[in-house]
Amino acid sequence: MTDDQRRTRVLDKIKKCLALSKSANEHEAAAALRQAQVLMRQHNLTQAGVEASSINRASANAGAAYRPTKWDESLVVCVAAQFACQALLLRPRHQQVRWLFLGSGQNPEVAAYTYHVLRRQLLEAKRQFVSKNFPDASPGSKRKLGGLFCMGWVEAVATIVASFAHVPDAEHTAALAAYMQQHHPDAKDKKQKARTRQVSQVEYAAYRHGLEQGGNAQLHRGVSGSGQALLEGYETPPIG
């Protein structure tokens, strides 16, 4: 048996004892708590460390050399929130920038997969939108209008993803807080920021088209209860 396997077995025993310590039977609860405390002392573990051990990780390619776009950050915040996850941006040296999803059970894996699928579909939607409506625009204009289209798309899709939301319970919240304090104490929560800059009619139209297209997208759970999310196809109409 490897050290990791031994550690996992010990953590499982402690977790079971801590669960039993909440029993309505006072004697059973007290005995379970004492046993958990003995095991933690023997293996130099804290309750916060035990709680943090229940947090899983999954990552997804951020598709950026260093700094993700605002719409990409908004998409990550949206997906992470709906799957009760914490999202962190990883910038490993000489490697592709990645988003790390932290949460309980399969949630991080499903969140990373959902983000990957949604991002791929969004990039295709943006490509179609820009090529249909602004084929002769400058690269800068294409980036700006495409970005506004993406922001609208993400805002609309957020309401669809919400139907898959996992409401975190107190145990999960405490475990995630313990993990973040232990492994990423300096990390800051990413939050979506409201746009305050005035935009032109063309820019607003690009945003509105993204909003409409995102609203037409349909997200559904995968087969066999896998929890994977897939986004069905759609078409991008010309700007009116």
What tens digit of pLDDT does each residue of 117-169 get?
A: 889 889 999 999 999 999 999 999 999 999 999 999 999 988 877 766 666 67
Let me know whether 157 and 201 are in one domain.
yes
Across the chain, what does the average pLDDT equal?
Answer: 79
Q: Is 239 part of a structural domain of the chain?
A: no
Quick one: 176 and 220 in the same domain? yes
pTM, 2 dp: 0.73
Domain count within the chain: 2
**What is the span of the domain harbouring residue 35?**
3-45
The token pair that represents 227 in the structure block: 């929890």
The answer to whether the beta carbons of residues 71 and 143 sit under 8 Å apart is no
Residue 174 within a domain = yes
Distance CA 139, CA 177 (A): 43
Same domain, 73 and 109: yes
- Beta strands of the chain (E only): which ranges? 55-61, 86-90, 98-104, 219-221, 229-231
**Domain contains 112:** yes
Is 103 within a domain? yes
Say if 236 falls within a structural domain. Answer: no
Are 31 and 62 found together in one domain?
A: no
146 and 28 within one domain: no
Amino acid type, 121: Q
The label of the residue with tokens 């010309």 reads 238
Secondary structure element (H or E) that encloses residue 154, with its range: helix 139-161
One domain, residues 77 and 28: no
91 found inside a domain: yes
Residue 56 pLDDT:
87
- The rounded distance, in Å, linking the Cα atoms of 193 and 172 is 26
Q: Give domain status of residue 50, yes or no.
A: no
The verdict on residue 100 lying in a domain is yes
Q: Which of 28-32, 59-63, 153-157 has the highest mean pLDDT?
A: 153-157
Q: With bands split at pLDDT 50, 70 and 90, how would you rate the model's confidence at 233?
A: very low
More confident residue, 31 or 168: 31
Band of pLDDT at residue 232, cut at 50, 70 and 90: very low
Same domain, 136 and 166: yes
41 and 105 together in one domain: no
pLDDT at 235: 41
> How confident is the model at residue 72, as a pLDDT?
92
The confidence score (pLDDT) of residue 130 equals 94
Residue 167's pLDDT is 67
In a shared domain, residues 80 and 109 = yes
- Cβ neighbors of 97 (< 8 A, separation 6 or more) are 61, 62, 63, 64, 65, 66, 68, 89, 90, 91
Looking at residue 150, its pLDDT comes to 95
Q: How confident is the model at residue 231 (pLDDT cuts 50, 70, 90)?
A: very low
CA Rg value for the chain: 22
Q: What is the pLDDT of residues 215-228, one digit of tens each?
A: 876 665 543 334 44
Say what percent of the chain tops pLDDT 70.
80
Q: Identify whether residues 63 and 36 lie together within a single domain.
A: no
Q: Give yes or no: residues 30 and 78 share one domain.
A: no
Task: Say whether both 180 and 88 belong to one domain.
Answer: yes
Q: Kind and range of the H or E element at 36? A: helix 26-42
